[in-house]
């Protein structure tokens, strides 16, 4: 399907295949594929982007040092199953052994970790639709981070259902899919310098 045909289909709200959706999108397209239709979403706020930037910096360095896998920041599509929507988590983590699922323009299967940073317009989607889809699709660990409320929810997939995990008495959450990685939940809201965090994690002197 040519781009003009795709645009016409979008305007008429006709069904669009996931392949055509991927052809339609570029790196500036803010949209997801849901039930054969394009669902657009609003640009992120500065606070949202600041937390995303901080996490991307921290995780990128950690994963490079530990050689554990890769992250794919948004905009990058994830299609967890044939009959499930194509979503665009804020951050995707994929272990080395699962890199075969990584295609040129999308992840063909569930991430090991998906992180969503809540905004006002995404609240119901992140906690409702995406929660159910990621659970059904097999995303092994799911973080929902809400900077406005300073609330972090962490979920681990156990026997096909998400089980909520909480930080310990010191406010530390330990990931189950990123080997050895832990984070103080308070860091998510005050965003200390990444180098200071890496020192506390014991990765640099």
Which structural domains are found in the chain, ordered by start?
A: 1-40 (no CATH), 47-200 (3.90.1570.10)
Q: Are 148 and 134 in contact (CB under 8 A)?
A: no
Look at residue 67 in the predicted model and tell me its pLDDT.
97
pLDDT at 10 over 50: no
User: Who has greater pLDDT, 7 or 154?
Assistant: 154
Per residue, the 3-state secondary structure of the chain, as one string, reads CCHHHHHHHHHHCCCCCHHHHHHHCCCCCCEEEECCEEEECCCCCHHHHHHHHHHHHHHHHHHHHHCCEEEEECCCEEECCCCCCEECCCEEEEEHHHHHHECCCEEECCCCEEEEECCHHHHHHHHHHHHHHHHHHCCCEEEEEECCCCEEEEEEEECCEEEEECCCCCCEEECCCCCCCEEECCHHHHCCCHHHHHHHCCCCC
**Which residue is listed with tokens 């008429």?**
12
The residue with greater pLDDT, 128 or 90, is 90
Is the predicted pLDDT of residue 11 greater than 50, yes or no? no
Inform me whether the pLDDT recorded for 13 exceeds 80.
Answer: no
Distance CA 204, CA 91 (A): 24
Torsion of CA 13, 132, 155, 102, to 10 degrees: -50
Q: At 161, is the pLDDT very low, low, confident or very high (cuts 50, 70, 90)?
A: very high
Residue 82 confidence (pLDDT): 85
What is the pLDDT at residue 139?
A: 97
């Amino acid at each position: 399907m040519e781009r003009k045909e795709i645009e016409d289909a979008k305007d008429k709200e006709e069904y669009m295949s996931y392949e055509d959706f991927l052809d339609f999108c570029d790196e500036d397209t803010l949209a997801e594929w849901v039930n054969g239709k394009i669902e657009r979403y609003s640009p992120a706020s500065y606070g949202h982007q600041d937390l995303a930037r901080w996490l991307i910096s921290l995780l990128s360095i950690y994963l490079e040092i530990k050689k554990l896998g890769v992250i794919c920041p948004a905009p990058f599509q994830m299609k967890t199953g044939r009959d499930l929507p194509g979503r665009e988590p804020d951050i995707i983590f994929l272990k080395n052994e699962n890199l075969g699922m990584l295609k040129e323009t999308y992840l063909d299967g569930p991430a090991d970790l998906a992180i969503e940073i809540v905004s006002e317009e995404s609240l119901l989607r992140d906690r409702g639709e995406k929660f159910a889809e990621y659970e059904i699709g097999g995303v092994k660990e799911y973080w929902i981070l809400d900077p406005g409320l300073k609330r972090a929810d962490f979920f681990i997939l156990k026997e096909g259902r998400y089980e909520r995990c909480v930080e310990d008495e010191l406010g530390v959450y330990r990931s189950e899919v990123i080997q050895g990685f832990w984070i103080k939940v308070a860091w998510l809201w005050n965003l200390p310098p990444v180098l200071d965090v890496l020192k506390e994690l014991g990765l640099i002197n």
